[in-house]
C-alpha cells in the first residue's frame, strides 16, 4: 500500500524556484515536502547559470591574456588546457552543490522525495506507486528543457544542448551554434575565446529581444573576436558523417553547407510539463507553460506555478522572485502581484547587456551596474535621484549619473527654466 503523506506545502522541482520556497517554508516551521526527479539544484546549478558562467570566466581569462599586449604586457602564446577548463567548470558546480543538496534540505526540516511527481486529482500528487501526498497548497517549479527545432536530420545527428555541452572534455575544432539568443551567444563567445572556430546561424535576428542598438554593439564585438554570425538564414537540414557535421543553409541564392566538428542547438526552451497529470488536477496550460494569474495561482486555486514552468521570464532571479511571492501568498495569505517590468535580464556576453524598464546598459560590468537601476525602479525613484548622487571618480558607477545628467540637460536649459532663473536673478 502507498505511503500517504499529509502536509501543508508540496513543492515539485528542486531548482532555483522550488528550493527557495521549500527553504523559506521550513524556516517558518511549515511542514513541506519537496519532490525532485533529477539532480537537486535543477538547471541553474547543473546545466545552466553555474557551468556557463564558470566557462565564461575561464574564457575571459584567455581573452585578457590575448589583449594584454595593448597594456604593454606580453605573455607566452596562450595554451588552453581544455581538460582543466572542463574540470574547473565541474569544480564550480561541486562547490555549490552542498547548498542545494538533499542532506542540507533534510537538515532544514524539508521532507525530500526523489522521483517524478504527477497529479492524481485536484489535491493529491503521487511519486511512483509508493507515495501519495495530500497538501493544502502545491507549487509547481518544474523548469524548462531545450526546445529542439524540427530540422530534418537533427534527430539522428550528434548534437549538443546546454544539458550536454558542459560535459565536453575537448574543445571543438569548429562549433556550429544554431540560435543567436543569450545562451547561444554566451557559449559561442566562450568557446571562441578558448580556441574553437565558431559559426552561429540564426533564422531571425540575433538577440532579437534586445534593443537593436545595444545588440549591435555586442554583435560587432563577437565578429571582431572572429565569430561568424549568419543571420536571417534557416538551417534546412543537418548531415553527419565521419565525425563531421554539416549544417545546410537555405539562402535566397541557393543552398550553402557549413562543415563543423560539433553542433550546439540553442533555439529556446519548452516548459517541463510532460507527465505531470495537469489535466487531472484541472490546471490549465499552453505551449509557453502553466497559465497563472498575477499572483502566480493556476486555474486550480490550491496550486501555484513559478519559474520557467510558468512561462514568464526564464531566469534564476525570476524564479526566486516568484518563490518569494508564493511564500507571502501561500503562508501569510497576503495579496501579491508579479511586477514583470522590475525583473532585469543580463546576457553575459562581453560586453553584457542588461535592461530594466526604460534603461539598457551595454558595456563592461553592465550586470553589476543594472542593480542600482532596479532599486530605483522598484522604489519609484525619479531619474533626478541619479543626477544628485556623489559617486567616486573614476568608477564605472559614474555612468548612471552621466546618463541621468544627459537626460536632464535639455530640460535644465529649456526656456521655461531660463525664465525662472532670470526671475530669481532679478530678485537679487
Ligand atoms: C546555459 C544556460 C545559462 C543560464 N544562465 C543564467 C544566468 O546566468 N542567470 C539567470 O538568471 N538564469 C540563467 N539561466 C536560466 C535559469 O537556469 C533558469 O531560468 C532557472 O534554472 C529556472 O528555475 P526553475 O526553478 O524554474 O527550474 P529549474 O531550475 O530547471 O528546476 C526544475 C527542477 O524540476 C525538476 N522536475 C521537472 N519535472 C519534475 C517532476 N515531474 N517531478 C519532480 N521534479 C521535476 C527538474 O528535474 C529540475 O531539477 C540559464 C539557462 C541556461 C540553459
Q: 145 near 46, Cβ under 8 Å?
A: no
Phi, psi for 254 (deg, rounded to 5): 105, -175
CA 356, chain centre distance (Å): 15
From the CB of 43, is ligand 1 less than 6 Å away? yes
CA of 421 to the centre of ligand 1 (A): 56
CA nearest neighbour of 231 among 211, 205, 257: 205
Is the model's pLDDT at 399 over the cut of 90? no
Q: What is the mean pLDDT of residues 120-147?
A: 97
Quote the pLDDT of residue 360. Answer: 77
From the CB of 276, is ligand 1 less than 6 Å away? yes
Q: pLDDT band at 22, cuts 50/70/90? A: very high
pLDDT digits 0-9 by tens, 273-305: 999 999 999 999 999 999 999 999 999 999 999
Give the C-alpha distances (Å, rounded to integers) separating 8 from 23, 108, 139, 411: 14, 16, 11, 56
pLDDT digits 0-9 by tens, 165-175: 999 999 999 99
From the CB of 44, is ligand 1 less than 6 Å away? yes
Quote the pLDDT of residue 354. Answer: 33
Quote the pLDDT of residue 356. Answer: 37
Mean of the per-residue pLDDT values of the chain: 90
Quote the pLDDT of residue 348. Answer: 74
Is the model's pLDDT at 60 over the cut of 90? yes
Cα separation, 144 vs 135, in Å, equals 24
Q: What is the CA radius of gyration of the chain?
A: 25
Is the model's pLDDT at 97 over the cut of 60? yes
From the CB of 272, is ligand 1 less than 6 Å away? yes
Cα separation, 303 vs 139, in Å, equals 6
Q: pLDDT band at 210, cuts 50/70/90? A: confident
Based on the number of CB atoms within 10 Å of its own CB, is 51 exposed (0-12), middle (13-18) or buried (19 or more)? Answer: buried
Probe target for ligand 1 pocket from 12, 13, 305, with the most ligand atoms within 8 Å of CB:
13
C-alpha cell belonging to residue 260: 563543423
The residue written with cell numbers 495537469 in the block is 278
CA of 42 to the centre of ligand 1 (A): 5
Probe target for ligand 1 pocket from 23, 43, 51, with the most ligand atoms within 8 Å of CB:
43
Quote the pLDDT of residue 232. Answer: 92
CA of 272 to the centre of ligand 1 (A): 10
Q: pLDDT band at 418, cuts 50/70/90? A: low
Considering the entire predicted model, what is its pTM? 0.88
From the CB of 42, is ligand 1 less than 6 Å away? yes
Quote the pLDDT of residue 383. Answer: 76
Probe target for ligand 1 pocket from 17, 23, 48, with the most ligand atoms within 8 Å of CB:
48
Amino acid at each position: 500500500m502507498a505511503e500517504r503523506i499529509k502536509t501543508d506545502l508540496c513543492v515539485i522541482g528542486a531548482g532555483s524556484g522550488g528550493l527557495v520556497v521549500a527553504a523559506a517554508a521550513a524556516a517558518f516551521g511549515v511542514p513541506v515536502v519537496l519532490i525532485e526527479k533529477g539532480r537537486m539544484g535543477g538547471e541553474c546549478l547543473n546545466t545552466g547559470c553555474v557551468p556557463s558562467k564558470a566557462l565564461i570566466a575561464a574564457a575571459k581569462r584567455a581573452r585578457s591574456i590575448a589583449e594584454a599586449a595593448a597594456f604593454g604586457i606580453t605573455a607566452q602564446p596562450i595554451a588552453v588546457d581544455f581538460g582543466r577548463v572542463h574540470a574547473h567548470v565541474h569544480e564550480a558546480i561541486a562547490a555549490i552543490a552542498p547548498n542545494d543538496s538533499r542532506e542540507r534540505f533534510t537538515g532544514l526540516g524539508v521532507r525530500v522525495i526523489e522521483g517524478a511527481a504527477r497529479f492524481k486529482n485536484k489535491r493529491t500528487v503521487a511519486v511512483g506507486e509508493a507515495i501519495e501526498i495530500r497538501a493544502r497548497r502545491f507549487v509547481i517549479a518544474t523548469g524548462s528543457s531545450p526546445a529542439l527545432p524540427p530540422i530534418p536530420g537533427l534527430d539522428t545527428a550528434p548534437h549538443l544542448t546546454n544539458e550536454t555541452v558542459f560535459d565536453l572534455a575537448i574543445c571543438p575544432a569548429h562549433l556550429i551554434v544554431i540560435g543567436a539568443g543569450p545562451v547561444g551567444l554566451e557559449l559561442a563567445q566562450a568557446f571562441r575565446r578558448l580556441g574553437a572556430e565558431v559559426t552561429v546561424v540564426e533564422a531571425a535576428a540575433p538577440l532579437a529581444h534586445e534593443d537593436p542598438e545595444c545588440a549591435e554593439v555586442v554583435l560587432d564585438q563577437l565578429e571582431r573576436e572572429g565569430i561568424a554570425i549568419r543571420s536571417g538564414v534557416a538551417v534546412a537540414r543537418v548531415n553527419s558523417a565521419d565525425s563531421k557535421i554539416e549544417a545546410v543553409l537555405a539562402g535566397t541564392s541557393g543552398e550553402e553547407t557549413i562543415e563543423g566538428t560539433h553542433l550546439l542547438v540553442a533555439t529556446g526552451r519548452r516548459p517541463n510539463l510532460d507527465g505531470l497529470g495537469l489535466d487531472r488536477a484541472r490546471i490549465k496550460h499552453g505551449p509557453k507553460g502553466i497559465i497563472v494569474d498575477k499572483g502566480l495561482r493556476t486555474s486550480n486555486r490550491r496550486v501555484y506555478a513559478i519559474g520557467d514552468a510558468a512561462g514568464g521570464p526564464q531566469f534564476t532571479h525570476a524564479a526566486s522572485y516568484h518563490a518569494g511571492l508564493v511564500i507571502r501568498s501561500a503562508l501569510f495569505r497576503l495579496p501579491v502581484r508579479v511586477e514583470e517590468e522590475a525583473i532585469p535580464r543580463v546576457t553575459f556576453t562581453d560586453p553584457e547587456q542588461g535592461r530594466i524598464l526604460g534603461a539598457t546598459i551595454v558595456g563592461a560590468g553592465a550586470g553589476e551596474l543594472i542593480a542600482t537601476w532596479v532599486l530605483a525602479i522598484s522604489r519609484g525613484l525619479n531619474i533626478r535621484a541619479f543626477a544628485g548622487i556623489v559617486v567616486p571618480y573614476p568608477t564605472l558607477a559614474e555612468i548612471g549619473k552621466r546618463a541621468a545628467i544627459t537626460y536632464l540637460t535639455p530640460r535644465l536649459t529649456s526656456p521655461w527654466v531660463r525664465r525662472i532663473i532670470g526671475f530669481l536673478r532679478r530678485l537679487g
